[in-house]
Homo-oligomer: A and B are copies of this chain.
Amino acid sequence: MLSHKAKYALKALLYLAQQDENHISRTIEIAEGANIPKKFLEQILLDLKRGRFVSSKQGKFGGYYLIRSKNDITLAEIHRLFDGAIALLPCASLNFYEPCSDCKTEEECSLRHGLMIIRDETLKAMQGITIASLVKK
């Protein structure tokens, strides 16, 4: 399941993607438009900024705006930024790999192979969902 943070991030990106080119959105505007607690959204927007999905203009008349095309921001990326690995266990993860601590023999974890299949399928599906694809629905 997605965390609220990831869900709110997606909704915020969706909001930004629906604004006019060159429009800068204030946090409060996004919060009200997408029904997200404002103070919580502040943190999320900063995370999105650190992840280079959005940029910001500070000070009066400042706000946030997309710096990547809505056509290539995928659900997979947002999941990874906020909720981490897409795989079901760290030992099956591409970006968040860690060995299992409870697999005692040196051979691979018995679950790993199957979970890598799931990961590949889920990842492929998640990479097919973009912000743009969510907007035009």
The one of B2, B36, B134 in contact with A110, judged by C-beta atoms closer than 8 angstroms, is B134
Please report A residues at the B interface, Cβ cutoff 8 Å: 1-2, 7, 10-11, 14, 35-36, 75, 79, 84-85, 87-90, 102-104, 110-111, 113-115, 117-118, 121-122, 124-126, 128-129, 133-135, 137
17 more CB-based (< 8 A) A-B contacts, given A2-B88, A10-B111: A1-B84, A1-B85, A1-B88, A1-B89, A1-B90, A11-B110, A14-B110, A35-B102, A75-B114, A79-B88, A110-B134, A110-B137, A113-B134, A114-B137, A117-B129, A118-B125, A121-B121
The interface residues of chain A, by DSSP majority, are classed as helix
Known: A121-B125, A128-B117. A11 touches B134 (CB 8 A): no
Can you sample 12 A-B contacts with CB below 8 Å? A1-B85, A1-B89, A2-B88, A35-B102, A35-B104, A110-B135, A110-B137, A117-B129, A118-B129, A121-B124, A121-B125, A122-B122
Closest to A113 in B: B137
B114 touches A118 (CB 8 A): no
A102 touches B1 (CB 8 A): no
With A10-B111, A14-B110, A35-B103: A75-B118 Cβ-Cβ less than 8 Å = yes
